Copies of this chain bind each other. A is one copy, B any other.
Amino acid sequence: MKRVVQKFGGTSVGNLERIQATADIVERSVQQGIETAVVVSAMSGETNRLIGLANALCPDADVREMDQLVSTGEQVSAALLAIELQKRGVMAHSYTGVQAGFRTDSSYSRARILSVECERMLHRIERGEVPILTGFQGVNEHGDVTTLGRGGSDTSAVALAIALNADMCDIFTDVDGVYTTDPRIVPQAAKIERISYEEMLELASQGAKVLQNRSVELAMRYQMPIHLRSSFVDVPGTMVMKEDEVMERAAITGVAYNRDEAKITIKGIPDHPGIASALFGPIAEAGLNVDVIVQNVSEDGTTDITFTVPRGDFRKAMKIVQGVSKDMQARDVKGDDHVAKVSIIGVGMRSHSGVARKMFETLAEKAINIQMITTSEIKITVVIEEQHVDAAVKSLHTAFGLDAEGAAA
């Protein structure tokens, strides 16, 4: 017998009509004889409403209390879905993180799952019941509620699928799959039928936030297939799975971009060992995430370092760097918060040669200046001026043959 975990995000349970539509999907699965377990997020807007209440009282409220507070959102949507399913004669019950045995560490608001003691849910499934788990939350050793961070319900769903030894984890959302690029920029963007975990991780880190990264990492470790699909239209979505099960390898699977970038350059640093750690130590201590880093050695015995940070951290990072660069006797610090990243991603580039060259040529033809380059085994990223993002994405999408057939060019 087939067993699946179905996860429904906030828009899929956003109001009573959507809860009924979600019940349709679950009911259909049960009628097909599939053992089905469900994970739900809070009704869309509810988590923000609760956070808003707390912030109005205190902007930096205690994380334990915040978790006690926001975890109620999923409890509401899970109970409502159970009520709707029961009305239809489907045996269903809702379970909170503690009831479902989701043990986590005590890092409130960003807890990690330690184990899923799912005997109770397993028992219920085997009796033909549909357990409905509140996503996004668990319980620590003290019996206190913890939450897994934004988008944590995806991770809940994958963890449950692994614990229940399910055949697949269906993640229902408001998009019908992963696209070769953002259809708002390239109307010819095509839905990707199958994508490897690695590619999905690279895509997500580029701002294509369809799945929480942790959920993909977890699925990859246990090789749990994820079917990312729409709860609004019943069409196949995108399968996220092991690379060797992903057929039809093109060189490139997708083109991603992220506008939310800023760049800081420190020029003329006297070049000696330890400058990188002297620079990035204080930035890490301030909790800032550095992304792309490029270092060039000049001929005069000094070196230039350029790196990017999320645009929201730009001012804070500039302040730190200006202090540090003085200590390092660097010549100059320059910042630019109007840059963006564009990446091409694909496991196929490992076996196709000339991918990098083709990317650079394509951008050159459009007279787009490349400010930084960084590469991984399955990704090439360039940093360019933000104003060129659309042109870069469009031209790369066409150049690598990703434009959907039949779509107007």
Interface, chain A (partner B; CB < 8 A)? 16, 19-20, 50, 53-54, 56-58, 61-62, 64-66, 68-69, 71-72, 75-76, 78-80, 82-84, 86-87, 93-94, 96, 98-99, 143-145
Contacts and interface: CB of A to CB of B under 8 A. Distances in A.
B80 A64 contact: no
A261 to B, nearest CB: 34
Nearest to A55: B83
Of the listed residues A83, A86, A99, the one surrounded by the most CB atoms of chain B closer than 10 A to its CB is A83
Contacts of A86: 58, 61-62, 65
**How many subunits of this chain does the assembly comprise?**
2
A19 B143 CA distance: 26
Given A58-B83, A61-B83, A69-B79, 18 more contacts: A16-B57, A19-B57, A50-B76, A57-B84, A58-B84, A61-B86, A62-B83, A65-B83, A65-B93, A65-B94, A66-B83, A68-B78, A68-B79, A68-B82, A68-B96, A69-B75, A69-B80, A96-B145
A252 B20 CA distance: 57
A349 B99 CA distance: 53
B99 A143 contact: yes
A16 B53 contact: yes
A175 to B, nearest CB: 26
Contacts of A98: 98, 143
A79 B65 contact: yes
Contact of A94 (B68, B75, B99): B68
Contacts of A61: 83, 86-87
A109 to B, nearest CB: 13
Contacts of A78: 68
A53 B61 CA distance: 29
Contacts of A76: 50, 53, 69, 72
Given A62-B86, A98-B98, A99-B144, A57 B69 contact: no
Contacts of A57: 16, 19-20, 80, 83-84, 87
